[in-house]
Structures are given as C-alpha cells and as structure tokens.
Amino acid sequence: MITSMQPSWSAARLDYALATSRAENRAALGLYLPVGYPSRIASLDALHLMARHADILELGIPHTDPHLDGPVIQLANAQALDAGFEMIDLFTAATQLTASSTTAIVVMSYWAPIARFGPKLFAERLAVAGGAGVFIPDLPEHAAATWHSAAQEEGLYTIPLIPAHASNARLTEIGAGSSGMVYAPATPGRSGSRRPLSPYLPRLVRRLRTATGLPVAVGIGISTPDHAARASRYADAVVVGSAVIRRMTTWRNAPDLAAGQVAMTFADGVRRASSSAR
C-alpha cells in the first residue's frame, strides 16, 4: 500500500464513502457508466440520478479497444465515441457531480487514453475536477512509475484489478503500488457476466484485505441486486456496470430515468445486507 501519499480533498471523499458504509454494516455501492453514453446530455442526466443512490460513481473513459469488457460495455463505449466523447466531457462530469453530491468520483480507464492525453496533465485535471482516484485495469509495468508519480503528486488514488489466482507474494507486491482500495473480480472472465458469483469470492476478499491492507471492491459480474446483497456481506464495495447499461438500452426514450431506477434497486440490495453480520 502506498503510504507516502497525502490524499487530496477529493480522494478523501472515497475514504468517507467507504467509512460511512462500513458504519452502516454494508458495502459501499459503486455504479459505473461510460461518460458520453448514450449521448453527452443523457449521460450527465443519468449520472446525476445515479448519484442519488450511489456511494461511488465510476466514470468510464470510452476506449476503442475495451478488451477486458464484455459486449454490453464494449457497445456502450463505441456509442459514446460515435456521439463525440472528448476528454473534457469526463472533467465536466466529475466537476458537476462533485459540486452537486457527496458521492465519491472514481475514473475507470484503460491506459491508452491516459497515455495519449498525458499522465501528468490528466492527473492534474482530474484532481481539480474532484476525482478521488483512477482504476486502470491494464496499467503496463513500463508505465507504472510515470503514472504513480503523477497520481501521488495530485493526491489521487491508484486502484488496481487483482488477478483472482495471484499468489500472496504477488498480492503484497500489487498492494504496495496501490492506494484507496483494490478491485477483485466477482466472476471469471470479462464484465457483463450473468453467472453465479464465485464461491471463492469471500476467501479472495479476505486474502486481498490481509495482503494489501486496503478496502476491497468487487465487480465484474455483479448483475443482480441479490448479487449485490450477498457480496455486501463481506466486501467493502460492490460495483455494478453492465446491469445499468442493459436497463438503459431497454428505455431508449428515457435512459436517464432507467439508470436512476436500476441504481435504486441495487442500493436496496446492498442495504438489505446491513441486517446480517459482515
């Protein structure tokens, strides 16, 4: 775990979200949406409604090759790019959401868009906009030092995706370069899976927490409110993405209202777990 970094005021919002949900004996609810999907205006409207129910909003940066994601998020990325997404849209969304809610803002991005924009400038702009940290599932080893330097200078957290079968030594190594929280897959494979949660997930969460000393978020496969309720009993956060987008595609005339409705059902799910010991 990175110990030398002084978290920014915006990073402290993530700490607060995790501490508040822990005090309520549940996991924090994280909701993911690519910025600009299905359009700039609809995306912002949806995110504002989602913020009413989410502890954490994960703003996705659309990318031409979202290779770790399933077809639902891939299509949403493509639509956002076709609609004209630009990086300024991310900073605008983060600024508006930070000003209008207490929800913590985390960015999910592949490395390529950040590298093209410039890691130092990206970190600077995101910190000013109110971002707490960045989840980079494919951060390459050769770029890690550059990114960590930029993020630490701005007080941003760096959130990794943890391989489910990593050794304890590898988990400790990953944790040493991580901050804020770590991210574990709830099911094998790419995002959007509708398979049952892995029976080994509770053990994986315990291993990650012990090895890294950080809160553990689970995502990639949280497809129903029941999944969220079950994972909330042992994880520090649950993150939902494809399920939000699926609902939005069925309400084409009001995708923002669909996002708000599904956010509410998943919020009910994580709070359902608060009556059980975690």
Residue 105 Cα distances to 85, 127, 158, 250, angstroms: 19, 10, 13, 26
Catalytic-labelled residue, pool 15, 55, 58, 226: 58
Mean pLDDT of 60-67: 94
pLDDT reported for residue 194: 57
pLDDT reported for residue 115: 98
State pLDDT tens for residues 104-137. Answer: 999 999 999 999 999 999 999 999 999 999 999 9
Mean pLDDT of 1-28: 86
Region for 240 from its dihedrals, namely left if φ exceeds 0, alpha if ψ lies in -120 to 50, beta otherwise: beta
State pLDDT tens for residues 215-239. Answer: 999 988 788 999 999 999 999 999 9
Closest of 87, 92, 93, 95 to residue 119, by C-alpha: 87
pLDDT reported for residue 173: 84
Q: Does the N-terminal peptide bond of residue 38 adopt cis geometry, omega within 30 degrees of 0?
A: yes
Q: Write the secondary structure of 136-152 as one string of H (helix), E (strand) and C (coil).
A: CCCCCHHHHHHHHHHHH
pLDDT at 146 over 90: yes
CA angle 192, 32, 6 (to 5 degrees): 130
d(CA 12, CA 157): 10
Q: The sheet that has 133-135: what strands, in order across it?
A: 157-159, 133-135, 104-108, 56-60, 28-34, 237-240, 216-219, 182-185
pLDDT reported for residue 89: 98
Catalytic-labelled residue, pool 55, 65, 69, 89: 69
**58 assigned to active site:** yes
- What is the average pLDDT score of the chain? 90
The pTM of the full predicted model, rounded to 2 decimals, is 0.92
pLDDT at 39 over 70: yes
pLDDT reported for residue 14: 96
Closest of 179, 183, 248 to residue 222, by C-alpha: 183
**69 assigned to active site:** yes
pLDDT reported for residue 200: 83
CA angle 178, 182, 185 (to 5 degrees): 140
Neighbours of 3 (CB within 10 A): 7
d(CA 261, CA 244): 9
Q: In the structure, what pLDDT confidence band is assigned to residue 12 with cuts at 50, 70 and 90? A: very high
